[in-house]
A and B are shown apart, each in its own frame.
Chain A
Amino acid sequence: MTISDLCTLVNGTVVCGANRMNESVEYAFASDLMSDVLTVKTNQFILITGLANTQSIRTVEMSDTPFLLLCRDKEVTEDMRELAEESNILIIKSPYSLFKCAGILYSAGLKPIY
């Protein structure tokens, strides 16, 4: 699934990393628990989360993946945006809940890791 299609499906807006909109992603992991995300061995997945802080950006960076989907239109602080831009991480904001985002994207063919 292209990031551009994914963004449309969740009625999203791109916060930063728009240069990655034509890239594709095959897997997703949805969690607010960063400790759990850090156990994921797959690279190149999109993290779907409601946790909006600098550690969600750091977790994406350490996980070696460049994609983050923030649910419920959580505010992206300047610190978060700076960190994401430094590592060329794409952030999309969606007004939908984590449950709804995950459901829509799963139905559209995005694969679970486990």
Chain B
Amino acid sequence: MLLEYKIEGGDFTQAGYASSQIKKTLKQLNVDPAVIKRVVIALYEAEVNIVAHAYRGVIYAQVEGSGIKLRLEDEGPGIPDIERAMTPGFSTASQQVREMGFGAGMGLPNISDNADSFKIESSVGKGTTLYIEIKFR
């Protein structure tokens, strides 16, 4: 099953919609609740990142019997130094993002913590793609 959601940069009213829909789908598939929580936490962090930093993006969720593969592609400024972006506490978030309760430099490390596999590809001036995999067992 392949699910696809378009995300608009800067639109915080919709941030979390895709994660919420994927949570409902995984519940219907009777996936272990502890695994669902890891998936949606990682996904929600990544979705908020697109809203906070990119112009627009697409979330692709490939649900298989053994697990879920998430690919989040955005058009945006890109990440010049991925290693630095992964450092807990490092953030380039705007004041608006911080007022929403994010932007503390905890998102990418938390995605990594919840994922079985996590990879970032980024091109400055073009955008960023995140690959997140979580196994169901």
| Chain A contacts to B: CB under 8 angstroms | 32-39, 43, 51, 53-56, 58-59, 61-64, 79, 87
Q: Which residue, A33, A34, A37, A61, has most C-beta atoms of chain B within 10 A?
A: A34
- Residues of chain A within 8 A of B110, CB atoms compared: 35, 38-39
Interfacial residues of chain B within 100-121, with CB under 8 A of chain A in the complex? 100-104, 106-107, 110, 113
Q: Classify the secondary structure of B's interface with A.
A: helix
Q: B101's contact among A39, A53, A79, by CB below 8 Å, is which? A: A53
Q: How far is the CA of A35 from the CA of B45 in the complex (A)?
A: 8
What are 19 A-B pairs with beta-carbon distances under 8 A?
A: A33-B104, A34-B102, A35-B102, A35-B107, A38-B106, A38-B110, A51-B101, A53-B101, A54-B12, A55-B16, A55-B100, A58-B15, A58-B19, A62-B20, A62-B23, A63-B37, A64-B36, A64-B37, A64-B40
Contact: A43 with B37, CB < 8 Å?
A: yes
Q: How many residue pairs bridge A and B at CB < 8 Å?
A: 69
Whether the pair B113, A39 counts as a contact (CB closer than 8 A) is yes
Question: Given A55-B12, A61-B16, do A39 and B33 touch, yes or no (CB 8 Å)?
Answer: no
- Chain A interface, >50% SS class: helix
